[in-house]
Chains A and B, each alone.
Chain A
């Protein structure tokens, strides 16, 4: 089997043309003089359609690590146990519903653009707003960190080695910055839609082209006799507890991402979000399943890979398909472009969302409440540039000690999600309950990490902290509730 393959010069040319086409979307938005007000720059004045927002949101959620790393992860767990991924991907749609059912209406009625706009008015406490935003910020920052690391590696790999790690990272960073600075949310969302379409087409190419070229059903059946393949799930409570806690972790954790908030409140109404589910359920169930199949094919064609080698199993499969037929070459190239699309779309949405929150929530609410629209937009753009530069620094120093904390991405963010969501649905949830729940939940997460015990019976302790968090938010709020406070909040939520 051919692990290595020499791609033609057409590959880096296609990569560069693709990146230029993304930059053009930013230029197009700028040329039409869009994004000149805060509402337009940050949420495109709620004028984007459900197809653009739905596909764009998928592109935001599925990162380069997903598109390049999931086949390797499936390979390492023995193939089929990785089917938990389609289960938690579809659960993300429930997370969108949990947030969107209230956030879209509140945004329309009260003019909220960022989570801080809501939290400050809902709880009436700047300190609590800052604390919850920091928890959410950690979740989003880790995503930013992951994408920054991925940009250099993925650029180098997907260009067939023609573009170096440093050049790829610089090229990706500059293109993302130009897109966001010129296009604002509209440019970012439209580019994400474009990239999402490429990602879906690439995966269809894998399903109907690359998998058959690699032997399809015959190779998959052959995999069942390969050592290390787990064709059945162990029917133990630990297996199902692990499955349930993973689904809960992602279902609720995804609502802690600032970029998800951006894409959700950008819907003009709830119907626009619901319309997305006409196609997104199919995308969210099928695409992760294709990675499971790729992992199994990898086990059949390249058995016995080391952990480091298994990270590259998808590249080995693409190389093998490209070496077998011209169609495999073309579809392999499309998949490599799809990996770039997954990386850039997530990076753009994350940097945009972080700069939005830092400018609107931290700068305006804590530093300069009298800042006019022009100043807020300029601050947001400066933050974008600073984040881009910081991301490039991360790319050049990938061994920061911070990296090990990445495993706590959703576990930390979840502790803000409990008060955030409960406060949208229950008027008597108050700041005392929010403080008690989120602080104890956070302490459980950090304590379990420092203590080296992150799971009990395969159930994630971060999710356990989240469940304790929910109970405390409800119990403390109920005990300390005040009629005048409930009356004030009921007006906001009405």
Chain B
């Protein structure tokens, strides 16, 4: 199946919603990182990583697809 811009974006939306919702992170108060519960730090770190590993990477891929026409 040809992966066009529309399909790439659909994958992006679904993956982001799945991964940016912290259902899979164990949420306990301890341990703390700089006074903040570890799960909270991990949640933000994952969101930031998604911003680059998922959003930026797919933006690059879309650019490639657009160049190829």
Contacts and interface: CB of A to CB of B under 8 A. Distances in A.
B27 to A, nearest CB: 4
Give the bracket for the number of chain B residues in contact with chain A.
35 or more
B22 to A, nearest CB: 7
B47 A274 contact: no
Given A90-B50, A221-B35, A235 B23 contact: yes
Contacts of B47: 86-87, 90, 285
Interface string B33-61: 01111011001100110111001101110
Contacts of B43: 83, 86-87
Contacts of B12: 94, 97
Task: Output the residue of A86, A216, A240, A281 with the most chain B CB within 10 A.
Answer: A281
Given A80-B40, A220-B36, A425-B5, A90 B51 contact: yes
Interface string A85-113: 01100110110011001100100000000
A277 B55 contact: yes
A271 interface: yes
B1 interface: no
Interface string B9-40: 10011001100111100011100101111011
Given A97-B59, A231-B37, A243-B21, 17 more contacts: A80-B40, A83-B44, A90-B16, A93-B51, A101-B5, A105-B66, A216-B35, A232-B27, A235-B23, A240-B23, A243-B22, A247-B17, A281-B48, A281-B55, A285-B44, A293-B36, A425-B5
B35 A274 contact: no
Q: Which secondary structure dominates chain A's binding surface?
A: helix
Contacts of A221: 32, 35
Contacts of A244: 17, 21
B55 A270 contact: no
B55 A97 contact: yes
Interface of B: 5-6, 9, 12-13, 16-17, 20-23, 27-29, 32, 34-37, 39-40, 43-44, 47-48, 50-52, 55-56, 58-60, 62-63, 66
Q: Which secondary structure dominates chain B's binding surface?
A: helix
A296 B66 CA distance: 45
Instruction: Pick the 9 closest A-B CB pairs, nearest first.
Output: A281-B51, A220-B35, A217-B35, A221-B35, A425-B6, A285-B48, A274-B59, A217-B34, A232-B27
A278 interface: yes
A66 B23 CA distance: 26
A372 interface: no
Interface of A: 80, 83, 86-87, 90-91, 93-94, 97-98, 101-102, 105, 216-224, 231-233, 235, 240, 243-244, 247-248, 251, 270-271, 273-274, 277-278, 281-282, 284-286, 289, 292-293, 296, 425-426
Contact of B16 (A83, A91, A270, A273): A91
Contact of A270 (B35, B39, B56, B63): B63
Contacts of A219: 35
Contacts of B6: 425-426
B21 A233 contact: no
A91 B50 CA distance: 10
Given A94-B16, A98-B9, A281 B56 contact: yes
Contacts of B21: 87, 240, 243-244, 247
B51 A277 contact: yes
Nearest to B69: A494
20 contacts: A87-B20, A87-B47, A90-B20, A97-B9, A98-B9, A101-B5, A101-B9, A216-B35, A217-B32, A217-B34, A220-B32, A220-B34, A223-B35, A224-B29, A232-B28, A232-B29, A240-B21, A273-B59, A277-B52, A292-B40
A289 B44 contact: yes
A248 B22 CA distance: 15
Nearest to B48: A285
Contacts of B32: 217, 220-221, 224
Contacts of B66: 101, 105, 270
Contacts of B48: 86, 90, 281-282, 285-286
Nearest to B22: A233
A71 to B, nearest CB: 15
Contacts of B39: 232-233
A326 to B, nearest CB: 24
Task: Output the residue of B5, B17, B50, B51 with the most chain A CB within 10 A.
Answer: B51
B40 A83 contact: yes
B26 to A, nearest CB: 9
Contact of A278 (B5, B23, B40, B56): B56
Contact of B59 (A80, A83, A277, A282): A277
A274 B40 CA distance: 28
A94 B59 CA distance: 9
